[in-house]
Amino acid sequence: SIPNSFLLTNSLTGHKNWTLEMEGGGQVGPTSIRGHGQLSRLRSSSLEIREKGSEILREQLDAAKKELKLKDKECERLSQVRNQLEQELEELTASLFEEAHKMVRDANVKQAASEKQLKEAQGKIDVLQAEVTALKTLVLTSTPSSPNRQLHPQLQSSGTRGSYKSHIRNKSASGAFPLSPAKKEIYRHFLNPDYELYELTKMDSILFAEFLMWKERPSLDRSSAFLSRIYREDIGPCLSFTRSELSHLVQSAVENNSLTIEPVAMSAVPMVKASAIEYDCASTKCALSGLSRLCKHRIKLGDKESYYYISPSSRARITAVCNFFTYIRYIQQGLVRHDAEQMFWEIMRLRREMNVAKLGFYLTDQG
């Protein structure tokens, strides 16, 4: 037995010797069988540690490989998603550009059509202005003493009668009713040469006062005394037909300036409908009066698809009211440049035309 403690030292070079270090500093030499057993145990435990370490590393390597495979699959899936999104984005961009080009093309087509319509409208306006200028020239060149034959073609077929009436008018104008230049201008513009000369110095002061009040603020509101009287005395009776429901629709369309009158072919067979009431009438039955008449014209109310065939008498009454509304609209829009007295006499003439048409007097197509 060794009474003192010792330290077993194993060199890395594989030498199998060992030494005992005593407390006093001395060493004891050669190796024994007991030292060899401990060394072999140490070597076996070192091998086991290495094997376990290698096994752990292999397991970690396999896990890393599996994780890399999963990440490769995920990257591949994400790459496919990216490619699909890029393809959809390209398709969407192409469709947007195509739609934008289509919209630009449609806008250009519409702009070209609008410009064409504008040019046509301007051409029509120029034609209408030329016609108005020509009509004004005809009116200004027609006087009671020498009426314009083109403006009044009825004078061409009755020369003797026209000369006789002209002689009477000249006599009246030169002797019985001396007129001022303003009155003569009124007469030249608005009075028919076929009628006897009016005594223009006399006018209804009440009517003229109502007109002057209306002229200060011209409108189509029937609440004014001026239009209220005309509605009561002229417009209402003139547009009062047997078919009362259709009569009210016609009056509303005339007031709104949405009534259309057009000639029709005599072979047309219409189906006239007014609200819930339906009239089966051929072109020989007036939709307003209900009488069997030869209807050469038809009317349309606003944007409705229905047409109503009307007789010449009904057409004359509607036309007289339309002419009145057209003139007062011109006054409201400031298109009439005459003085108040001239406007008043023209309105009186239009009122006379409504009353004459209401009584059944109208010009036929043969004049």
At residue 299, what are phi and psi to the nearest 5 degrees? -120, 155
pLDDT at 202: 60
Rounded CA-CA distance 227/142 in Å is 31
- Range in 3-7, 101-105, 354-358 the model is least confident about: 3-7
pLDDT at 365: 57
Are the beta carbons of 143 and 188 closer than 8 angstroms? yes
Are the beta carbons of 310 and 243 closer than 8 angstroms? no
Residue (of 201, 158, 160) closest to 179 by Cα position: 201
Higher pLDDT, 45 or 23: 45
Residue (of 136, 110, 240) closest to 188 by Cα position: 136
Are the beta carbons of 352 and 238 closer than 8 angstroms? no
Rounded CA-CA distance 123/135 in Å is 18
pLDDT in tens, 273-311: 444 334 444 457 899 988 888 888 999 998 888 889 999
β-strand partners of 27: 21
Res 68 pLDDT > 70: yes
Rounded CA-CA distance 177/163 in Å is 20
pLDDT at 38: 78
Higher pLDDT, 306 or 187: 306
Torsion sign, CA atoms 306, 312, 314, 320: positive
Residue (of 301, 313, 209) closest to 258 by Cα position: 301
pLDDT at 194: 44
pLDDT at 13: 42
- Range in 56-65, 97-106, 193-202 the model is least confident about: 193-202
Q: Which amino acid is at 89?
A: L
Tokens, residue 233: 């005395």
pLDDT at 167: 37
Q: Kindly give, in sequence order, each residue whose CB lies less than 8 Å from that of residue 176, ignoring residues fewer than 6 positions away.
A: none
Percent of the chain at pLDDT above 90?
39
Higher pLDDT, 262 or 28: 262
Global pTM reads 0.45
At residue 309, what are phi and psi to the nearest 5 degrees? -85, 135
pLDDT at 225: 92
Sorted by where each begins, the domain ranges of the chain are 46-140, 205-265+283-359
Q: Kindly give, in sequence order, each residue whose CB lies less than 8 Å from that of residue 221, ignoring residues fewer than 6 positions away.
A: 227
Higher pLDDT, 19 or 132: 132
pLDDT in tens, 140-149: 554 444 555 5
- Chain-centroid distance of CA 156 in Å reads 51
Higher pLDDT, 204 or 125: 125
pLDDT in tens, 218-252: 999 888 999 999 999 999 999 999 998 999 999 99
Q: What is the mean pLDDT of the chain?
A: 75
Give the model's confidence band at 177: pLDDT under 50 very low, under 70 low, under 90 confident, else very high.
Answer: very low
Q: How do beta strands 27-28 and 272-274 pair? A: unpaired
